Amino acid sequence: MTKVPPAVTGSPLPGLDGEAGTLLLGDYTLDGGATIRAEVAYERYGRLSPAGDNAIVVCHALTGSAHAAGENGWWAPLIGPGSTFDTDRYAVYCANIVGSCYGTTGPESVDPATGKPYAGTFPAVSVGDMVALQRLAFAELGVRSIVTAAGGSLGGMQVTEWAAQAPELVRSIIPIASVLAHEPWQIAFNEVARQAIRNDVSFHNGDYAAHGTSPDAGLALARMIAMISYRSAMSFDERFGRATQGGPPERPVFAVESYLRHQGERLVERFDANAYLRITDAMDRSDVGAGRGGAVAALAPFRGPGLVIAIDTDALYPPSGQVAIVEALRANGNRVEYTELAALDGHDAFLIEWGQLDAAIRPFLASIE
């Protein structure tokens, strides 16, 4: 059964002059060669112009959904009337990525060949597939030109893929806390998380639903591992210190332990383990320059400006990764702005530092209008 994201949305979206929906796109052949029957869940905020040229695309991260704005939207403070991505001027689109569990085709979807959910047999997907299906969906919705594509983490990887895959469509890009290709440090965290899921006795080689089980312990542990990489040592010190929170007198529970357990439990309630495996694998295999002659050559057809945003305390995607994006774009003569958020919270600052994000993005958008 398709997981329910943190906010359940309807169609239309009150107060945002938008809509939520799902498009059936038909058969799509993935980069790995397998063919799926593709559905794409999306949300739109603001009205698309008659010419279809005022669209902004925002791309979500690993466990995100198409619900970017409105109540509990993952970028809600940045999207709306008069906001950073001003829905009085732009039509802001977000689509759930392929391989996920929030409405777009993924492991929980029914395999037409068997009439049963794909589960562990769902094929590998790529960041290229994620963007290609978004392109098809947005074209179906009437988008003819994109003012900017923006996103953080995996969302930022999609953004650079947009520039390489559809340079004629995207007029500017805003990759945040991201990389041109996953590096060993990022792959290592993802592999440990995947092993936590696969080593759960309830995993059953991905066919856990048929066995009436779920690898909840493994998925929760995967999330706990990820949460350490998403924050910084300074943020943990500031928030938790050595405080304790319940537990027996002889072994009280540290507050940071309680926090990590809670985060794991929350993800289990809303996300699918097979989807976690497929998406993290897609992230690890992502390399915008692969098969394109390297990153500089891959991005050469894209001629628009870029705003590249890093986070100074990001342990998972250090600023060096964003500097590499800047250098690849500038090597082709693109106008590129670079800024670092000064943040205590590490990688997750792209979901927290609303004021700094607004201060960087708003003038950039004004400069390209």
| Burial grade of 49 (CB within 10 A; 0-12, 13-18, 19 or more) | middle
Q: Is 130 helix (H, G, I), strand (E, B) or coil?
A: helix
Q: Where are the extended beta strands (E) located within 1-34?
A: 19-29
Residues 6 or more apart in contact with residue 23 via CB below 8 angstroms? 39, 40, 42, 137, 140, 141
153 is catalytic: yes
Catalytic residue among 129, 178, 347, 348: 347
Q: What are residue 92's phi and psi, to 5 degrees?
A: -95, 125
Q: Which residues pair with 86 in a beta bridge?
A: 80
Cα–Cα distances (Å) from 155 to 49, 57, 163, 220, 279, in that order, read: 25, 10, 13, 22, 12
Catalytic residue among 153, 172, 229, 232: 153
H-run or E-run covering 6: none
- Identify which of 100, 107, 102 has the alpha carbon closest to the alpha carbon of residue 121: 107
Q: 244 is written with which tokens?
A: 């304790």
Q: 145 is written with which tokens?
A: 């030109």
182 is catalytic: no
Helices 273-285 and 127-140 cross at an angle (nearest 10°) of 100
Maximum Cα interatomic distance, the chain, rounded to a whole number of Å? 68
CB atoms within 10 A of CB 319: 19
Q: What are residue 250's phi and psi, to 5 degrees?
A: -75, -20
Q: 170 is written with which tokens?
A: 């995207």
Structural contact between residues 23 and 120, judged by C-beta atoms closer than 8 angstroms: no
Catalytic residue among 281, 287, 314, 345: 314
100 is catalytic: no
Q: Annotated catalytic sites, by residue?
A: 153, 314, 347
